[in-house]
């Protein structure tokens, strides 16, 4: 099945809390653009590898994240909690719904990625 974007699994959580802050101005502008494009509900492929969001991240070194060990565990947790598999192709809205219903609403996010450097932003946004 064809898809428009490959999305790294844990980015489902990152996008839910995005506030326009990030690694660099280039990265945050790019992330905002991607989130805007995803609002039209394109077909995506769930991945545990670098994706379109990672393409502007300064931690992306030749297609691998500098913190790969940590983020791959975030990816695995999202797959597990949402009942998804690597390579699943689905509408973005279905992925977003799965993340909200299985991780964010039951308040599982912090146990999954509480050691992320952006954790404080997610707390702030979640309380609003």
Is pTM beyond 0.75 here? yes
pLDDT digit string (tens) for 23-42?
888 889 999 999 999 999 99
Element (H, E) at 81: helix 68-82
Position 85 scores a pLDDT of 96
CA distance 65 to 63: 7
Intra-chain end-to-end CA distance of the chain, in Å: 38
User: Is the pLDDT higher at 97 or at 127?
Assistant: 97
- Averaged pLDDT, 42-69: 91
* Confidence grade of residue 82 (pLDDT, cut at 50, 70, 90): very high
* Confidence grade of residue 125 (pLDDT, cut at 50, 70, 90): very low
CB count in 10 Å sphere of residue 5: 16
The rounded mean pLDDT for the chain is 89
CA angle 31, 96, 122 (to 5 degrees): 60
Contact 112, 63 (CB under 8 A): no
Position 123 scores a pLDDT of 65
Parse the chain into domains and list their residue ranges.
5-127
Given a cut of 90, whether residue 58 has pLDDT beyond it is no
Contact 24, 52 (CB under 8 A): no
Q: Among residues 61, 66, 63, 82, which one has the least CA distance to residue 10?
A: 82
Classify 46 as helix, strand or coil.
Answer: strand
């Amino acid at each position: 099945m064809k898809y428009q974007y490959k999305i790294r699994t844990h980015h489902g959580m990152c996008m839910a809390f995005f506030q326009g802050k990030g690694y660099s101005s280039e990265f945050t502008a790019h992330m905002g653009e991607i989130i805007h494009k995803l609002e039209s509900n394109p077909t995506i492929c769930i991945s545990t590898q670098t994706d379109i969001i990672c393409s502007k991240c300064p931690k992306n070194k030749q297609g691998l994240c500098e913190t790969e060990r940590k983020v791959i565990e975030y990816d695995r947790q999202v797959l597990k909690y949402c009942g998804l598999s690597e390579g699943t192709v689905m509408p973005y809205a279905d992925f977003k719904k799965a993340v909200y219903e299985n991780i964010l609403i039951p308040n599982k996010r912090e146990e999954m990625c509480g050691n992320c450097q952006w954790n404080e932003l997610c707390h702030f946004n979640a309380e609003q």
